[in-house]
Amino acid sequence: MIVASVSLFAADLKVVEEIVAKCNGDIVTRSDLDKARTELTDMLRHEGLAGAALDEKVAEESKHLLQDRIDNLLLVQKAKDLDIKVDADLAKRVAAVQKQSGIADPDKFHDWVKEQTGGVPFEDFKNDMKNQMLRERVIRQEVGEHITIKHEEMEKYYNEHKADFIREEQLLLREILISTEGKDEAGVAAAKKKAEDLVARARKGERFPELARDNSDSITAKSFGALDPYKKGILDPSLESQVWDKPKGYVTDPIPVKAGFLILRVEEHYKAGQAELAEVEGEVQDKLYAPRMQPLVRDYLTKLRKEAFLEIKPEYVDSGAASGKDTSWVDPAQLKPETTTKAAVASVAKHKRLLWMVPVPGTTTGSTSTSQ
């Protein structure tokens, strides 16, 4: 056994990043929060806020930035614990984005992503997308699948809110567009064949929204092919005649249009007047589901916090903190020398280098001395 003495000379170090919280094996840095605040400000400005109203809203929402960051880390960590895999779905999602960009060359596509995301490198963009998918899967698996809404509850809500379900006659559609723009005769023939294959797949039971997302050349691919509701007479007559009197789930043959070949699917056909419960069950279920989901997700995240190793600097606040959970920050630089092993000494020194402060390249890090 030896007595270890570990010293770092502050004069030789320059802090280029500040860690504000530790969450299991991950960290939250001040730059993470600064970036989130910038994104929040841009989003609110895009929504039309400006001046004092913008500043007030940013100040209010910024109180939850650390909470959001910790929430995200905990959910991604849980996904790994549960061995959730999303690589196949991620590849499809990235391929769909590339298809929508119209850029076949991988390097040029990566440059396009960086441009569209305000400078985010492609690998970071892809990793963010993966983490978002992991978080969604955990919430659905661990929370959403445990929510049960009984038919009696839907009936009660419907009867109490009938006025919300009085409709004009309208048609809800999804679309897939296979473009022929700029294509020669062979390209047009290939586009038609692809459209026919997609129709066959949809009629065999493949989910139309996913087919639209992964194959459509229309901007609506981002929203799974969903179109705004149509009233009688609004849709082009040549299209309306093919879908207006068709049942829910009907998929058209490929329809030649100026831009290529269009495939339409009838999602709903609402008749004028009071909608029956059977017609609006999905809407009613969503109305009941959403308010239950949010508090249950919060409860689940509180549970994850109680089980986690969390340390947060005193000047930062986790607005989602679990009651009774000690998240006091332990400063490694204040740890006193103690009797230990050589391996432990090396581990402490390495821990300080990685988690306490990041030296600027070229500066010294002090010295570590041991005496036997």
The long-range contacts involving 336-343, CB below 8 angstroms and separated by at least 24 positions, are 337/3, 337/4, 337/5, 337/6, 338/3, 338/4, 339/1, 339/2, 339/3, 339/4, 340/1, 340/2, 340/4, 341/1, 341/2, 342/2, 342/370
Query: Environment class of residue 4 by beta-carbon count within 10 Å: exposed (0-12), middle (13-18) or buried (19+)?
Result: buried
DSSP 251: B
Tell me the average confidence (pLDDT) per consecutive run of 10 residues in the chain, 372 residues long: 44 70 95 93 89 94 96 97 94 85 89 88 94 95 92 94 88 94 91 95 94 91 89 89 92 93 92 86 90 94 97 95 94 56 48 40 41 40
Three-state secondary structure call for residue 22: strand
- At residue 147, the 3 state secondary structure works out as coil
Q: What is the pLDDT of residue 4?
A: 41
For residues 98 and 109, give the distance between their C-alpha atoms in angstroms, rounded to a whole number: 7
Question: What pLDDT was estimated at residue 13?
Answer: 56
Structure token pair of residue 316: 């930062």
291 Cα distance to chain centroid: 20
Say how far apart CA 297 and CA 147 lie, in whole Å. Answer: 11
DSSP class of residue 328 equals B
Task: State both tokens at 39.
Answer: 């994104």
**Cα distance between residue 353 and residue 364, in whole Å:** 11
Domains and CATH numbers, the chain: 1-17+326-372 (no CATH), 22-153+278-308 (1.10.4030.10), 169-271 (3.10.50.40)
- Please provide the DSSP assignment of 90-132 as one string: HHHHHHHHHHHHT--SHHHHHHHHHHHTTS--HHHHHHHHHHH
Cα 243 to Cα 235, 250, 365, distances in angstroms: 10, 8, 72
Give the number of other CB atoms < 10 A from CB of residue 10: 10
* In contact, 248 and 267? CB cutoff 8 Å: yes
Q: What is the pLDDT of residue 12?
A: 55
